[in-house]
């Protein structure tokens, strides 16, 4: 394939293959992070760890994804993402195997830290930025479809992990995951190619003309501050929904099925969030979806019956995942091609930091009070703070656009 076609205005067909590749890689990587909720109780029972301590495994993966995501974003903008998928494939398989040998909290944290740093951080944000710049027409839809892979993975992988745990135990489950991941991820990683648009901008030092009224740095600051609280909100159910439900006497298979429904609804939410961003704007979409997740997350400890749980899971999954794709679309539409991977990686740094903190505080509040009521109330409160920040961001953009319109008039 010619990496720099003459007509860069036309979306190359290979872009949709890249959508499939990154969809699949992110499904695998996000699936491992999401499955920590299923391993939480078996590992706590095996080693006598508290839920707050065990939840820190999720925090370790989230923090390393955040920290190394920034590094890989700089590498991607300078050298491209050609080998990111291959490295991530080997790393995911190796760290999953090592998890089967763990016997201490230090090893537990270390292996999830390495998974986030050299697996998830490579397979997600830098590749999302790559995909976004394969498309000039409807980039929000392309990003939404790609990002939906994470939701699909967080639904399927924990469900399969739950079945394997019942049948084989936690050690064999990690070994099985290692083999399956290498077999799937390595061929996909070999298909990764750099966007012709981004490659041209990188090699020639050019960038697209921006019409957005705020500087790229200010955009990144606003989004980064918002996503800290936004991701605090969404991470509590991701990490603690399965333990919450099994504490209430629901079987592990039924609890993971609720999480799977939540994530499948999330896949639809990510696609819809991306498309809605193309239609009404990325920031209004972000605000709308944030309002939904903030409202729905509060009710998980208070609903009874599987039907009500499935309905709540669908509603929360749709809105929380719409938030995820709208964050990516905001960044894609507000910064230029030369800065895209760094911008997405920096905002993801704060997002993953928020995810890690939310997962930890959710478990810590359970250890203190013996139930999850305050954990999910905390999540909703963080969502309210996120909405306040986004509202201020909205009016900041509006205030900068009005003088420009007056000058044009």
Q: Are 123 and 201 in contact (CB under 8 A)?
A: no
| Coil/strand/helix, residue 4 | coil
Q: Are 20 and 127 in contact (CB under 8 A)?
A: no
Fold of 14-408: Growth Hormone; Chain: A; (1.20.1250)
Total residue length of the chain: 409
Domain limits, the chain: 14-408
Q: Report which DSSP code applies to 338.
A: G
Cβ-proximal residues to 90 (8 Å cutoff; 6+ apart), any chain: 182, 186
Q: What is the pLDDT of residues 17-36, one digit of tens each?
A: 999 999 999 999 999 988 88
Positions of the chain with pLDDT lower than 50, given as ranges = 1-8, 406-407, 409
Q: What is the pLDDT of residues 234-248, one digit of tens each?
A: 999 988 998 899 998
- Tokens 């960044």 belong to 331
Per-residue confidence (pLDDT) for residue 32, from 0 to 100: 92
- Compute the CA torsion angle 34, 350, 359, 165 (nearest 10 deg): 20
The Cα–Cα gap between 163 and 245 comes to 16
Q: Report which DSSP code applies to 337.
A: G
pTM beyond cutoff 0.85? no
The Cα–Cα gap between 389 and 220 comes to 13
* Widest pairwise Cα distance in the chain: 71
Per-residue confidence (pLDDT) for residue 283, from 0 to 100: 92
């Amino acid at each position: 394939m010619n990496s720099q076609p003459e007509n860069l205005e036309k979306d190359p067909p290979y872009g949709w293959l890249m959508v499939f590749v990154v969809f699949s890689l992110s499904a695998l990587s996000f699936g491992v992070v999401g499955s920590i909720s299923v391993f939480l109780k078996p590992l706590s029972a095996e080693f006598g760890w508290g839920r707050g301590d065990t939840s820190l495994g999720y925090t370790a993966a989230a923090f390393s994804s955040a920290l190394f995501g920034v590094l890989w974003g700089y590498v991607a903008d300078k050298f491209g993402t050609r080998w990111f998928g291959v490295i991530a494939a080997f790393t995911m398989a190796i760290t999953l195997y090592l998890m089967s040998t763990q016997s201490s909290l230090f090893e537990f944290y270390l292996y999830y830290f390495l998974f986030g740093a050299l697996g998830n951080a490579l397979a997600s944000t830098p590749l999302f930025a790559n995909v976004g710049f394969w498309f000039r027409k409807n980039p929000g839809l392309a990003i939404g479809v790609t990002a939906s892979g994470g939701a699909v993975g967080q639904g399927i992988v924990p469900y399969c992990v739950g079945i394997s745990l019942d049948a084989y135990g936690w050690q064999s489950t990690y070994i099985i995951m290692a083999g399956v991941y290498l077999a799937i991820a390595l061929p996909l990683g070999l298909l990764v190619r750099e966007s012709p648009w981004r490659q041209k901008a990188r090699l020639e030092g050019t960038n697209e003309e921006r019409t957005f009224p705020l500087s790229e740095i200010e955009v990144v600051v606003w989004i980064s501050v918002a996503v800290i609280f936004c991701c605090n909100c969404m991470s509590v159910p991701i990490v603690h929904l399965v333990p919450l439900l099994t504490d209430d006497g629901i079987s592990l298979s039924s609890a993971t099925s609720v999480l799977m429904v939540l994530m499948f609804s999330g896949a639809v939410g990510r696609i819809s969030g991306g498309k809605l961003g193309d239609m009404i704007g990325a920031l209004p979409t972000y605000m709308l979806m944030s309002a939904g997740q903030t409202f729905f997350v509060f009710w998980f400890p208070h609903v009874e019956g599987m039907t009500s749980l499935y309905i709540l899971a669908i509603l929360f999954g749709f809105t929380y995942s719409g938030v995820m794709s709208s964050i990516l679309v905001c960044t894609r539409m507000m910064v230029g091609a030369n800065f895209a991977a760094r911008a997405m990686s920096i905002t993801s740094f704060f997002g993953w930091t928020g995810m890690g903190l939310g997962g930890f505080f959710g478990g810590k509040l359970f250890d203190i009070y013996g139930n999850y009521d305050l954990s999910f109330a905390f999540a909703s409160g963080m969502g309210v703070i996120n909405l306040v920040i986004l509202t201020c961001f909205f009016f900041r953009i509006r205030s900068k656009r009005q003088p420009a319109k007056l000058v044009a008039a």
